[in-house]
Structure 1
Amino acid sequence: MKVNKHYLFIIFIVLTIVSCSTDDNDTNLVTDLDPTEYYQELNVSYGPDSDQTFDIYLPANRNLNTEVMILVHGGGWSAGDKSDMNDLRDYIRSEFPNMAIVNINYRLADQNNQPYPMQINDITTIINLLKSKQNHYVIDDDFAFIGVSAGAHLALLWSYAFDTGNDIDMVCSIVGPTNFTDPAYLNNTNPELQALLDLYGVDASTAYLEEVSPYHQVTASAPPTILFYGGLDPLVPTTQGTDLRDKLQTLGVTHEFTLYPNAGHGWIGLDLLDTSLKLKAFIETHLD
């Protein structure tokens, strides 16, 4: 009986050693991705909220200089989803097959949660995560933005006011609001538009409206900026684009501006073709 107990004890020790050895091997497994292979991951979580997710698409044969385009959807700060950007995602993948793409969701505003600074904080978290995992993903630690509508506002505001590390190489605004102190906003009579503006606070102070306005936050160190607007847009007056254009010109910031006189809050046909060609040329010029 003593022999059996001793034998069982030896077996237990051996199994424990094997188990520990296996655990040690698991913790030392190489988890970095193979940069020679294409990789995508959907709904990557970057926070506890269900809206704090992004999709990442990484090209094959990438390196630490592989450019990263971040897509920011619209929806009036209170709606929308990263899937709304799938057409733009596919356009970038087609025209720039060697570029990485990060298509993001962010927490949506409601009566209890204002968009600012919540959504800016989400973008900061994503940028910091991508930078911390640069070697894992095998990507550059500089980024570019394409935003649409409210997403364009967020992309511009983050690039102009929160890019303390000069991490943004270029930003594109497609019908993005830029100036909440614009008389066209302050004196508007559009209930739908006012409901969106009220997300930033009813009777908000001028100082606060300037704080959340890319127009008031932009400086001479802003990244190259390309702007697209519609002359008949019921939600984003033409002055939201032209005023920012003029300020970028005054500051000496590299920029391009296009106004489609007969377009609204989006466009198709020849105007869309023009946008795609101009955006492609701008990306080629400002992203190595």
Structure 2
Amino acid sequence: MLNVEYGSSSHQKYDIYLPKNRTKDTKVLILIHGGGWNAGDKSEMDAFKDFIREQLPEIAVVNMNYRLADMNHPPYPMQINDIDNVVNELRKKAKEFHISTEIGFIGASAGAHLSLLWSYAHDTQKQVKMVCSIVGPTNFLDKAYLNTTNQDLRGLLDQFGNSSELLKEASPLYQLTSNAPPTILFYGAKDPLIPISQGIDLRDKLMELNVKHQFTLYPEGGHGWVGIDLMDTSLKLKAFIQENL
């Protein structure tokens, strides 16, 4: 089912792909696109959707759009509220769709940030069984961010305002607890937008809190990667989903 509406905004739509032989135990993977919180579209996650449908055909896939930030609408909490709405709707329709209420997330860039934040701080029903961050920001109070001279990066961060309390609240690193779901992280050492401290600091805290996790840093990876590195991501992600979802 494509472009299922979950709100009045033109961006509040999702696609859902239901396996043919599904049961009430069929798990759901929710995909969240990137785009700096103010751009992007669910179609950018089609490669992940196709990969899951081919490699893990027993899993239902939800590929969602969310309202994009602008001058008058900051990303947080608006986009977290959109994830709330989708998850609540999936829970209400679990019988109708013939699926489980247990979910996982795969997010890229800004979508990875939202996936981590929702999983760590907003999963009140404890539905999330695993979360994957591909080059997702994790800490808006990182000195590498606060002291950046990169104007494009500065513009992205300024969308969240300058209240350190709000920046902390919107940072997955500070919302992580020992009850967090299994987490798999992928980062590129040459990423111009995401300092490697974003992935490493979250990995260290996952370790400290004894949360099940995997962390991969590709030495030649940027804000995404291809070839052997991408194949490595695919293999690790598939195994992690199979083990945890």
TM band (smaller chain):
over 0.9
Q: Which position in structure 2 is the counterpart of 1:55?
A: 15
- Residue 205 of structure 1 deviates from its aligned partner by 2.0
2:237 equivalent in structure 1: 279
Q: Does 1:98 align with 2:74?
A: no
Structure 1 segment 213-232 matched on structure 2, within 5 A: 213-232=171-190
Q: Deviations over 1:173-222 (max 9, x none)?
A: 00000000000000011111111001101xx1221111000000000000
Separation in 1, partners of 2:35, 2:198: 17
Corresponding letter in the other structure for 1:230: G
TM-score for both structures, normalised by structure 1? 0.85
CA distance in 2, matches of 1:60, 1:281: 22
Equivalent residue number for residue 33 of structure 1: none
Matched, 1:169 2:136: no
| Counterparts of 1:146 and 1:158, CA distance in 2 | 12
Extract unaligned runs of 5+ from structure 1: 1-40
What is the match of residue 248 of structure 1?
A: 206
Alignment of 1:255-266 (within 5 A): 255-266=213-224
2:31 is the counterpart of 1:67: no
**Alignment TM-score, normalising by the size of structure 2:** 0.99
Q: In the alignment, what sits opposite 1:267?
A: 225
- Counterparts of 2:149 and 2:141, CA distance in 1: 15
Q: Secondary structure at the match of 2:105?
A: strand
AA paired with 1:246? D
Report the CA distance between 1:261 and its aligned residue.
1.1
Distance in structure 2 (CA, Å) of the matches to 1:237 and 1:217: 19
| 1:90-130: CA deviation from partner (whole Å, max 9, x where unpaired) | 00001001110000000000001000000000000000000
Amino acid at match of 2:11: D
1:9-20 correspondence runs (5 A): none
Matched residue pairs, number? 245
Question: Residue 116 of structure 1: SS of its match in structure 2?
Answer: helix
- The answer as to 2:164 corresponding to 1:210 is no
Q: Which residue of 1 is the match for residue 158 of structure 2?
A: 198
Alignment of 1:81-160 (within 5 A): 81-160=41-120
- Residue 155 (structure 1) shift: 0.2
CA RMSD after TM alignment: 0.5
Give the number of the structure whose alpha-carbon radius of gyration is greater: 1
Secondary structure, in 3 states, of the residue corresponding to 2:115?
helix
Map of 1:235 onto structure 2 = 193
| Aligned match of 1:42 | 2
3-state SS in 1 of match to 2:120: helix
Query: How far apart are residue 262 of structure 1 and its match?
Result: 1.1
Q: Which amino acid aligns with 1:140?
A: S
Matched letter for residue 104 of structure 1: M
Per-residue deviation at 1:86?
A: 0.3
Q: In the alignment, residue 244 of structure 2 is paired with which amino acid?
A: H
SS at match of 1:117: helix
User: What residue number does 1:76 align with?
Assistant: 36
Deviation, 1:87, is: 0.5
Counterparts of 1:283 and 1:125, CA distance in 2: 24
